[in-house]
Structure 1
Amino acid sequence: MSAGGFPGSGLAKGLAVTLKTMTRRSTTQQYPDVAPELPPRSRGVIALLAENCTVCMLCSRECPDWCIYIDSHKEEVLVPGAARPRQRNVLDRFDIDFSLCMYCGICIEACPFDALYWSPEFEYAEYDIRDLVHDKDRLGEWVATVPPPPAHDPMGEPAKEEQNAAKKSAAA
């Protein structure tokens, strides 16, 4: 005999709760019909500003999932007045495998050149898992959806750069 009295009483109680819930008018708005209101600066997909990337590989080395793949080549740059030409890295490939990514944000924090940003976009599901590898062009498309940083607190301390500029202008 079951704890509720007769056999199947738990099933009957569960069905009663389900029926009561189904007949009640719901005020919950469902996702496909209504887009959710996300908090500002929420994490969605990682965006790449390729012009800022110097191929330092810090993001790839710091990634705990090893889901960032970077390839580059060196290019000579002639500098007027320099004794010899300089070399710079040119980004050839920057891919992020979102099927491996755990969205920790370490790559964004590790980038000293502000090449990686969080975009609040989250609707990038794919039918094939191989399509979750986004290349630099696709990652670049997400840059347009990155919200601007929050405004500085007007009652807070001014930035160090502003303080230094004020000191220099007062000394001049």
Structure 2
Amino acid sequence: MPPFPGSGLAKGLAVTLRTMTRKSHTAQYPDVQPELPPRSRGVIGLFEENCTVCMLCARECPDWCIYIDSHKETVPPAAPGGRERSRNVLDRFAIDFSLCMYCGICIEVCPFDALFWSPEFEYAETDIRDLTHERDKLREWMWTVPEPPALDPGAEEPKELAAARKTADKLAAQRAAEQEAERATEQAAAQASGEPPAQAPDEAPGRNGADGTPGTAEGGTA
């Protein structure tokens, strides 16, 4: 059976009428910035203070788009009689984003947390040579890195926190044992000399006024 004349037009008008009553979801970009997920792979930020020039990121990069230059400096000894040491100083850290495939391997292999994902994505250039960004630009993107998501309440405690808490508890117990040993030594010395044991500062009796009330250090009433 041949289609009814004008049926296509009627179907098109029906679709138009249905969409006219629905709310529009158009993103008004660039006037309104999109809400990106916190783990968006927009660009790579560099936290230069954590970089030790270990070259792991450049060696593991499958596209060889990371360029690092450095030199060695001699560090004087920290204590008299110590030995001088040498350390690497970062001269250049650049990423060619025209070659980068945003795999994130450089961020995963960095042992000192010097590279992070930033949700910034507006860095298009008219010349492909301008897509090689130096460390100053990578440092600016570092400040747009979002905070890490909170841990699951039911998750295990990170090993770093557990080790730090264990060390702090050990030091506190050692300090308490040393104070107890010092107090016992003082009491033993006082008993041997026949003098009364020394009291803690908060337990020392204060002077009293004429009416028996606690007084000040000069003997006046408080």
What TM-score range do you get, normalising by the shorter chain?
Answer: 0.7 to 0.9
Task: Give the structure 1 partner of residue 26 of structure 2.
Answer: 29
Q: Could you tell me which residue of structure 1 aligns to residue 135 of structure 2?
A: 136
Query: What amino acid sits opposite 2:148 in the alignment?
Result: P
Inter-partner Cα distance in structure 1 for 2:95 and 2:67: 6
Q: How many residues align?
A: 156
User: Which residue of 2 is the match for residue 146 of structure 1?
Assistant: 145
How is 1:1-20 mapped onto 2 (pairs within 5 angstroms)?
Answer: none
Q: Which has the higher contact order (CA 8 A, sep 6+)?
A: 1
Structure 1 residues 56 and 39: CA distance shift in structure 2, 3 A: same
Deviation of residue 154 (structure 1)? 2.4
Cα deviation, 1:97-141, whole Å, max 9, x if unaligned, reads 000000000000010011100001111111111111000011000
Partner of 2:109: 110
Judging changes above 3 Å, is the alpha-carbon distance between structure 1 residues 75 and 158 closer, same or farther for their aligned structure 2 residues? Answer: same
1:72 aligns with 2:98: no
Q: CA deviation at 1:167?
A: 4.4
CA 128–165 in structure 1, closer or farther in 2 if over 3 Å, else same: closer
Please say which structure displays the higher CA radius of gyration: 2
Q: Which structure: greater strand fraction?
A: 1
Matched residue type, 2:69: D
Deviations 1:38-64 (A, max 9, x none): 112211000001111100000000000
**For 2:51 and 2:90, how far apart are their aligned partners in 1?**
7
Please report the TM-score for the alignment, with normalisation by the length of structure 1. 0.80
The percent identity for this pair of structures is 68
Distance change in 2, residues 1:78/1:124 (3 Å) = same
Rounded to whole Å, the distance in 1 between the matches of 2:45 and 2:107 is 9
Given the superposition, is the C-alpha separation of residues 56 and 167 from structure 1 closer, same or farther in structure 2, using an over 3 Å criterion?
A: closer
TM (normalized to structure 2)? 0.63
Structure 1 vs Structure 2 CA RMSD: 2.5
Q: Which blocks of at least 5 consecutive residues in structure 1 are unaligned?
A: 6-12
